[in-house]
Amino acid sequence: MKINAVNNNQPAFQEVNQKYLKEAENWYKRRGNIDTSWYESLRDDVTLFKDISSKDGIDTMNAARKYVTEGSMKFFNHVMDCIKRA
- Identify the pLDDT of residue 14: 62
Strands (E), the chain: none
Whole-angstrom Cα distance, residue 47 to residue 81?
Answer: 11
| Choice between 5 and 30, residue whose per-residue pLDDT is larger | 30
pTM of this structure: 0.82
- Identify the pLDDT of residue 15: 84
- Identify the pLDDT of residue 62: 97
pLDDT single digits (tens) 24-51: 999 999 999 999 999 999 999 999 999 9
Is the predicted pLDDT of residue 12 greater than 80, yes or no?
Answer: no
Residue 54 carries which side chain, given as an amino acid letter? S
Kind and range of the H or E run holding 64: helix 54-64
- Please, which contacts does 24-31 make with residues 24 or more away whose CB atoms are closer than 8 Å? 24/64, 24/67, 25/64, 25/67, 27/67, 28/67
